[in-house]
Amino acid sequence: MELYPASLANSLDFPVIRKEIAELCQTTGGKSMVQNLQPIPDTFELKRALQQTNELFSLYLSGDPVPSTLFDSVKGATSVLRTAGTVLEESQFSLIRSLCLSYKQVHRFMDKQRQRLPLLAEWILATEPEPLITEAIDQRLDERAQVRSNASKELASIRQKLTKSRAAADRIFDRVLKKYREKGYSADFNETVSENRRVLAIQAAYKGQVQGIFHGSSSKHSIVYIEPGETVEINNEIAYLLDEERQEIRRILKELANLIRPFTNLLNSIEDILTELDFIKAKAAFAHREECCLPQLTEQPHVKLKEAYNPVLKIFNRHKAKLTVPLDLEMDVQHRLLVISGPNAGGKSITLKTLGLLQLMLQSGLLLPVHPASRFFLFGQLMGDIGDNQSIENELSTYSSKLEKMKHFLQHADDHTLLLIDEFGSGSDPDLGSALAQVFLEKLNGFKVFGILTTHYNAIKAIAAATEGIQNGAMLFDRQTFSPEYRLETGNPGSSYTFEVAEKSGIAPHIIKEARERTGKSTLKVDQLLVQIQDEKLQLEKKRDRLNAELQSIKKLEAEKADTIVKLQEKLDKQSKLNEENDRLLYWGQRFQKLVEGWMDQQSQKDKKAIVARFIGMLNQRSGEVEKEEKQNFSKAQSKRDKKINELKEAEVKVGDRIKVLDNNLQGTITAIKNGKYTVAIGNLSSVLDRDQFIPFSGELPDQPKRKKRKKKFNKPQDGKPKNQNP
């Protein structure tokens, strides 16, 4: 997307967004990428950038850990390595090691998150970490980035000699120091260090009494520093060993540099990957903080803002503990141009800048603080005339600057252009400027551009009302409180509320009255008519809102009443069933009682068997009835549950909603919706589901009905005793 003029991003406050995101970066390179953030011209790359940001955003949304991208640049070290035979400092090798370890952790993380972060994983897993780099460094350097003594046999031998020589030098020096201290030659602090050698601090009066090498004196020449003659030879030996150590360390570091040199390009690639990941992570963190999402992208020109916030205004208001009013508007091929009118400080310019800033953010690869149902088209050009553009350098007045821009609009605007013009037609004679603006508007409409224009001119409002492709919009104003509502309403123009705003600002009433008298009758009548229309509309809206609230209250009461009736009916049904069951139990109890009494009255075994057989027959009959009732109850409960599941499958869901998977009852969060498929984060995993595979988490389901295990039926007795068997 091309911007015109070049300063348009500044006019839309895009640098504020860059600054906010840059503060969330962990690396200097990431901050630099944010500062260079601009529209991505290639559509494929833009959509990829948006999806990658959305993938990391899903981690923030679900509260899962996000990999660290903290590291220091190694570009200085790799630049040195490109020249054969060069050597790095120990600290530079330490930076390389840290970079490789950071990348190893990120690589491992992405390997585990392949399903949930497919684009990021594909990108990062294409570059494998090289373990040989860290292994080679760890073999030669310790955790303090110092060359290990065992890095070579020669270095180990040198350091052993150094340890012995230093110990011997210390013993000799301590003996000499003790001697001169006892003689009273030493200064209060006895000794110091000069050129890495211990030297005696001797009072100047006794310097001729001490044999050795003079190293200097104090500022007042009261103390001289002398290296004792007894330690000169061994100190020279230590100096020689230190030189040998330096040469061996250099040889080891050169050897290490030669081992790592073939991986120079890999190291640069790893740093580039981690830098870009830091950049993406900062974008995702900003999106999470500002409650953003990835809106729907349309193939045809169409803009729909739903619950859209200007992030700069939202951040500013948050610091002031003020609420920000969201914006709703829609533009399609039937209503491509929106002419907004209304009072000054009523939100016209903010509305215009909100659309422009959100479009610029989206086409720069950023998620937006809008409702997920919002829709955006990827425009080829974003043009604008916002603010005072007079230029001393180019000898342009404000109006000349506006005409210069309009000339560009008329020459280059097309049906893939989003145009933003603030104070359209202003800057010149009201009548002449308005006439020219009317022609400009008709020409721009002929080019089928999309856009927003703000104005105070009634003639422009009239054209918008009468021309296909253009619609009016008004920023609402509450005349009772004389304050703007910062809400846009399309369909009708708005009044500028010039006199009302002046009255609220404290202008004397007699001055306002005189101004009204000087205003042309037709102009004043039109303005009064607009005020009247807007007032009536506002009152109708308030009445509608009040009626809707009352209607919702009535519906709520009706729902509560219906729910109470249903519960009472269920209670009655339950009691009725309980009564029926008690009657049946009483009936069967009486029958069983009679059989028992009959059995006890019989004397012959044959008659008793006959009664037992009748008893078993009655048991089996009752068992069959109970089993039939349970099957009917199970079928009803299952049908009720299935109906509820089907209702919940049709419920509307959006990104960020919690859901429950039907197959396994696992809970998850929707992170993306595309082509009827739903990406769901379940713990550390990510799955792509169809809509009929899950229900909203808040949806309440009846319990899954369970079949009761039936007892075994009884067979007729063979010996007077009943026997049971499987049915």
Let me know: does 629 contact 581? Beta carbons within 8 Å: no
Domain covering 296-518 assigned CATH 3.40.50.300 in the classification: yes
Let me know: does 13 contact 361? Beta carbons within 8 Å: no
SS3 of 19-70: the string is HHHHCCCCCHHHHHHHHCCCCCCCHHHHHHHHHHHHHHHHHHHHCCCCCCCC
Spatial separation of the C-alpha atoms in residues 637 and 633, rounded to whole Å: 6
Looking at per-residue pLDDT, the higher value among 114 and 705 belongs to 114
- Residues written for the chain: 727
Looking at per-residue pLDDT, the higher value among 209 and 534 belongs to 209
Tokens found for residue 221: 């020449």
**Tokens 């009040």 map to which residue?**
546
Tokens found for residue 699: 């949806």
> Phi first, then psi: what are they for 462, rounded to 5°?
-65, -40
Indicate whether 317 pLDDT > 80.
Answer: yes
Average pLDDT rounded to a whole number, residues 83-101? 95
Spatial separation of the C-alpha atoms in residues 390 and 455, rounded to whole Å: 19
Record the pTM: 0.70
Tokens found for residue 698: 């808040």
* Residue of 715, 522, 515 whose CA lies nearest to 620: 715
Spatial separation of the C-alpha atoms in residues 136 and 139, rounded to whole Å: 5
Let me know: does 387 contact 420? Beta carbons within 8 Å: no
Whether the bond into 5 is cis, omega within 30 of 0: yes
Spatial separation of the C-alpha atoms in residues 587 and 241, rounded to whole Å: 113
Report the Cα–Cα distance between both ends of the chain, in Å, rounded.
Answer: 78
Class of domain 154-242: mainly alpha
Let me know: does 701 contact 644? Beta carbons within 8 Å: yes
Let me know: does 115 contact 162? Beta carbons within 8 Å: no
The share of the chain scoring above pLDDT 70, in percent, equals 84
Confidence at 644, pLDDT banded by 50, 70, 90 = confident
pLDDT of residue 393: 43
- Taking the CB of residue 77, how many other CB atoms lie within 10 A of it? 23
Strands 450-454 and 417-421: parallel
Average pLDDT rounded to a whole number, residues 322-326? 92
Spatial separation of the C-alpha atoms in residues 676 and 663, rounded to whole Å: 19
pLDDT of residue 20: 97
Q: State which amino acid sits at residue 45.
A: E
- Cα-based angle 322, 328, 333 (whole degrees, multiple of 5): 155
DSSP string spanning 482-543? TEEEEEEEESS-----HHHHHHHTT--HHHHHHHHHHS-HHHHHHHHHHHHHHHHHHHHHHH
Q: Kindly give, in sequence order, each residue whose CB lies less than 8 Å from that of residue 555, ignoring residues fewer than 6 positions away.
A: none
Strands 197-203 and 303-308: unpaired
Tokens found for residue 614: 């009748």
Let me know: does 20 contact 315? Beta carbons within 8 Å: yes
Spatial separation of the C-alpha atoms in residues 214 and 212, rounded to whole Å: 7
Indicate whether 309 pLDDT > 50.
Answer: yes
* Alpha-carbon torsion (39, 42, 43, 45), positive or negative: negative
Let me know: does 632 contact 705? Beta carbons within 8 Å: no
Average pLDDT rounded to a whole number, residues 221-234? 93
Average pLDDT rounded to a whole number, residues 427-435? 67
Model confidence pLDDT, tens digit, residues 437-447: 889 999 999 99
Domain assignments of the chain as residue spans, ordered by start: 154-242, 296-518
